[in-house]
Amino acid sequence: MDTTILRKIGLNDKEVKIYLKLLEYGAISVRGLAEISELNRGTTYDVLKRLQEIGLVSYYYQEKKQRFVAEEPEKLLEILKSRELEIKDVKNGILDIIPELKSIQDKKDLRPVSKLYDNRAGIKTILDDLLSSMHSLPEGEREYHIYSSTEASADIYKAYPTFTKERVKRKIRVKSISLAEGGNLHGLDDRRWLGTNKNSATFILIYAGKCAFISRDSEGNPVGVLIENQMIHETQKMIFQKLWEYLK
């Protein structure tokens, strides 16, 4: 018999074993049950107590001796229904406290949160966050800013080849200051050039209360750092806008 389903309703291995032995042997004492289950008496008694609490085991006295017996297997359905009600109550409770949890989360701006992402999969995670964060804003507010660099741009493309297509599809605009020469326009974007000729510079994204820095580690692998903080974001945005006007 596959007993996996019994574990899914919350029974551990010993509880499953004791319950099945009771179904097989019928009414039995703690000592007898311990022997056929190959468990010590203390453990057997603790398991029986737990099974009584959830309604799978009951007992009676015969000649002043306590005998334990398994309830009918249909009792499992009652337990399942009870769990479903508990889950529903928990869900309702979670829904009730989500506004409070969100208010706690909103206070994170008091403490900058930084996250480190490695390799192409990590870079794609940052870019997915950018797209989802910007797309959640009203269409008129969907604009972010970047400092682009040659090597990091290549890493970004390899990590997410269809990123630009997705950005345009979601009507997200971008202003880009290229640290080196080169770079093309693809739609809903504007570009100005700083002209430093620094190919290995860090790629910086400024968006939705966050700043992401994409570069390479000492072994040449792409790496990204995401900082979530409104004040840092506003400062970086202000510097970008001043530089943007200067390069006009």
Does 97 map to a domain? no
Q: Give the pLDDT of residue 137.
A: 93
Does 169 map to a domain? yes
Collect all residues with Cβ–Cβ distance below 8 Å to 183 and sequence separation of at least 6.
148, 153, 176, 191, 193
Does 43 map to a domain? yes
Buried residues in 20-56 as b, exposed as e (16+ CB within 10 A): ebbeeeebbbbeebbeebebeeeebeebbebbeebeb
Q: Give the pLDDT of residue 203.
A: 93
pLDDT tens digit string along 211-238? 999 999 888 899 999 999 989 999 999 9
Domain end point (choices 75, 102, 137): 75
Q: Give the pLDDT of residue 198.
A: 63
Domain end point (choices 57, 75, 93): 75
pLDDT tens digit string along 47-105? 999 999 888 998 888 877 889 998 888 888 888 888 788 888 888 888 888 888 777 76
pTM over 0.85: no
Q: Which among 69, 72, 3 is positioned nearest to 32, based on CA atoms?
A: 69
Assess whether 242 and 122 both reside in one domain: yes
Does 80 map to a domain? no
Assess whether 238 and 120 both reside in one domain: yes
Domain end point (choices 50, 75, 100): 75
Does 188 score more than 80 pLDDT?
A: yes
**Can you give the CATH number for the domain in which 14 is found?**
1.10.10.10
State the average pLDDT over residues 103-116.
Answer: 72
Does 215 map to a domain? yes
Residue 144 domain boundaries? 112-246
Q: Count Cα atoms within 13 angstroms, Cβ side, for 224.
A: 25
State the average pLDDT over residues 107-112.
Answer: 62
What is the distance between the alpha carbons of residues 104 and 93, in angstroms, rounded to a whole number? 17
Residue 138, classified by CB atoms within 10 Å of its CB into exposed (0-12), middle (13-18) or buried (19+), is: exposed
Q: Give the pLDDT of residue 71.
A: 87
Does 167 map to a domain? yes
Assess whether 63 and 135 both reside in one domain: no
At 132, which amino acid appears? S
Question: Chain-centre distance of CA 197, in angstroms?
Answer: 39
* Number of domains the chain is built from: 2
Q: Give the pLDDT of residue 113.
A: 82
At 235, which amino acid appears? T
Tokens of 18: 């004791």
